[in-house]
Structure 1
């Protein structure tokens, strides 16, 4: 039995617990309903890409709302919202929390990308420096199974239940979710290559995707007379600005520069982006166009803006090549289309992550976690949707098997571009 003084002490200790621990208290059915209604309505009013989706969002409310009476834990509610958000098959929409058996996020949480080619699931890109490549996976291989489950059987359950008709984009997202796997499962990939069937283990001896570590915010070196800077997924870290400035200053005398954005899947902020671009121009220029879909939907009045980037001190005026890949995502895609629009760089590589628009974060009133959805459409200055941009200088991903063909091509380009 607790005496009065002990009860008071327990109450005080509870109040002193971190908010994250206090938030673990059990929610009522009414609170789950309130959070679900807030989630559905917020997406309904603010998500800006419904017009290119097969998603029946009204059906989402009915289908998942019917499951709420069976929800009694935050883990169950998290899974319900994960599944509901997956109906958008949008890699730029996500929850701010996950479960041990949640699917890894695309593209930041995966090291392989595949597409259906002539009806067959084929690897089109492999992330450099990660387990998939280390295990022997290469572009061009046909996928047979994930963890001994045939690809079609593994991917089909990941298609939404509220799609009018599953389209190619939905099938591709489901395929890559199956390949990415869950946070707590070691992957086994069965593939066909040159008539042979191979079994590959990208997460052995350890799952590198669960513990990504970088040597620093960026890396740099000289490649002959040219300079090289690689951004290590740090475009959301304002400390990158002084680090980038000092690195670029040290490479000021080079004949040209390679800016490698192939390991930037996690997005970033426009402050860092404009700081980087501003070091390569001498006059203010537009680099990206925004459209605000919610305002047009509510009032019927279209609103769009151009975002500018201003020049900064000590501009680098030599030729610039920007390298991109499937793991060039979000803000890195904005930097890329910005350099392209300003005619300040040659873009080399493959398709980028094709992430939709600019995201906004919202927080559930009771569960204590949030979700992110695209609320602004983004375009190159001339109106090309950012997600549709492809490099003018394409590099075949299959050419990467024995080295770094994209970087080699960039260095050769700079040798010619630097000549008077």
Structure 2
């Protein structure tokens, strides 16, 4: 009986006029691609707030990539064109809301190691705990010689912008880490040098862990001696974290100090969650960061800036707090860190954070319908220090085996006055 019903349904469907059947989206016309590109270019031109830090010639971006539009006949080709155009900003806080199978992984959320040029060599400076790079033995201090058999300097060339007035150190570092992160569809082979010997490491085997990141919960919490510990699992954009954090902090309410671990928050988050978390650590309302919107000043000649406040929430935790940070503390994680430090509510231990620029705003292309994000507001510590320039005053001792940051935090809290 069921088979007969299904057969009848299919016959009726086939008998319907073509316009009534489900149809794939019609391909865009050249004029629609042009309209989307113009919208993209103008939006970035008018609203991106860090051009003064860049060597990007944005007017030339319009010329170089606009000239490629006549050859664009598919969505994937257009995505790649916009990816390349946006990469001219070499800004890890700017990106598209879509990608292709062979797109570069996002920084820092899509990488498990960080490198920097030191005395002309590409040196690993941080490795993400619990991921493939650490599992296969990549360690800070190793020299990165090649990626997938391509020497580093050669691997960088296609990742450096075509419109840069000069290739500065910041552009080279972004390109270096894009090469290190790799693409979504290709397993990486990293050639490193350590102790004078070369080694081949395969961080994406047997599985590309970065493509399927799963966390057991929004956070992890436990008591270590008399000290409470809460580690956020990249969930600062999930409003459910507020209840989970409240519950964990209530259970740890009798501890003599708290470690708030933000070292695995590369995906950023939202200010509702951030203010909720900080609010449980305060007893009075305080400003935690300064905003500035340059677009308004460019258009009207009137500077606009303001302080954002955090209000205390019920059952405040009043004991000493240490925040742990690192290269995978990004965006909203950086905001919480700088905010708690500004309000003198926490001691910060760690290395440089992700140093993402400002606060992003999302836009949607009128025809292609996918979005893109760019920083439109500059963010500062309350005293005026740009958020991306903040560096913790206390750095963990890397010679200590195990989790040096946590060890230093526990040592500090165990000697702190209540």
Return the offset for 1:5. Answer: 8.5
Equivalent residue, structure 1, for 2:340: 339
Q: TM-score, normalised by structure 1?
A: 0.95
Report how far residue 284 of structure 1 moved: 0.2
Matched, 1:403 2:402: yes
Partner SS for 1:393: coil
In structure 2, how many angstroms separate the alpha carbons of the residues matched to 1:5 and 1:272? Answer: 48
1:202 is aligned to: 203
Does the aligned pair in 1 maintain the 2:261–2:323 contact within 8 Å? yes
Specify the SS of the correspondent of 1:394. Answer: coil
- How far apart in 2 are the matches of 1:195 and 1:9? 72
| 1:17-68 CA distance string (max 9 Å, x none) | 7xxxx5x431110010000000000000000000000000000000000000
SS at match of 1:42: helix
Q: CA RMSD in A?
A: 1.4
Distance 1:182 1:332 in 2: 25
Cα separation, 2, equivalents of 1:60 and 1:173:
18
**Structure 2 counterpart of 1:222:** 223
Gap regions ≥5 residues in structure 2: 1-10
1:7 to partner: Cα distance: 6.5
Structure 1 distance, partners of 2:94, 2:396, is 29
Residues 247-396 of structure 1 mapped to structure 2, 5 A cutoff = 247-396=248-397
Report if the CA contact (8 A) 2:236-2:274 is conserved. Answer: yes
Cα pair distance change 1:80/1:282, threshold 3 Å: same
Cα deviation for residue 8 of structure 1 reads: 4.0
1:12 equivalenced with 2:11 (yes/no) = no
Distance 2:26 2:409 in 1: 55
| Paired residues of 2:93 and 2:374 also in contact (CA < 8 A) | yes
Question: Mean Cα displacement is larger for which, 282-291 or 4-13?
Answer: 4-13
Residue pair 2:123, 2:143 contacting (<8 A) in 1 also: yes
Alpha-carbon distance between aligned partners in 2 of 1:160 and 1:405, rounded to the nearest angstrom: 38
Partner of 1:39: 40
Aligned to 1:104: 105
> Tell me, what secondary structure is at the counterpart of 2:146?
strand
Tell me the distance in 1 between the aligned counterparts of 2:399 and 2:374: 35
Q: Which residue in the other structure is 1:119 paired with? A: 120
Shift of 1:6: 4.8
Matches within 5 A, 1:409-420: 409-418=408-417
Q: Distance in 2 between matches of 1:291 and 1:302?
A: 8
CA drift at 1:403: 1.1
DSSP 3-state at the match of 2:207: coil
Once superposed, which parts of structure 1, at least 4 consecutive aligned residues long, lie more than 3 Å away?
Answer: 3-10
Give yes or no for contact 2:13–2:21 (8 Å, CA) kept in 1: no
Distance 1:26 1:160 in 2: 29
Question: Residues 135-214 of structure 1 correspond to what in structure 2 (within 5 A)?
Answer: 135-214=136-215
Q: Is 1:30 equivalent to 2:27 in the alignment?
A: no
Q: Distance in 1 between matches of 2:399 and 2:111?
A: 21
C-alpha separation between the residues in 2 aligned to 1:334 and 1:12? 51
Query: Displacement of 1:395 after TM fit?
Result: 2.2
Rounded Cα–Cα distance in structure 1 between residues aligned with 2:269 and 2:343 = 20
Matched position secondary structure for 2:21: helix
Instruction: Give the drift of 1:13.
Output: 3.3
User: Which residue does the alignment assign to 1:58?
Assistant: 59
Query: How many matched pairs?
Result: 408
SS at 1:35 equivalent = helix
Taking the aligned partners of 1:403 and 1:415, their CA distance within structure 2 comes to: 19
3-state SS, counterpart of residue 374 of structure 1:
strand
Find the aligned partners of 1:156 and 1:258 in 2 and give their Cα distance.
42
- Per-residue displacement from partner, 1:187-241 (whole Å, max 9, x unpaired)? 0100010111111111111010000000100001111110100000000000000
Deviation for aligned residue 1:172 = 0.1
Deviations 1:344-399 (A, max 9, x none): 00000000000000000000001110100000000000000000000011125x44
Could you list the runs of 5+ residues in structure 1 that have no partner in the other structure? none
User: Do 2:219 and 2:245's aligned partners in 1 also have CA atoms closer than 8 Å?
Assistant: yes
Q: String of CA shifts for 1:102-151, please: whole Å, max 9, x gaps.
A: 00000000001000001110000000000001110000000100011001
* Alignment check: 8 A CA contact 2:253 2:317 kept: yes
How far did 1:156 drift? 1.6
* Counterpart-to-counterpart distance in 2, 1:25 and 1:405: 56
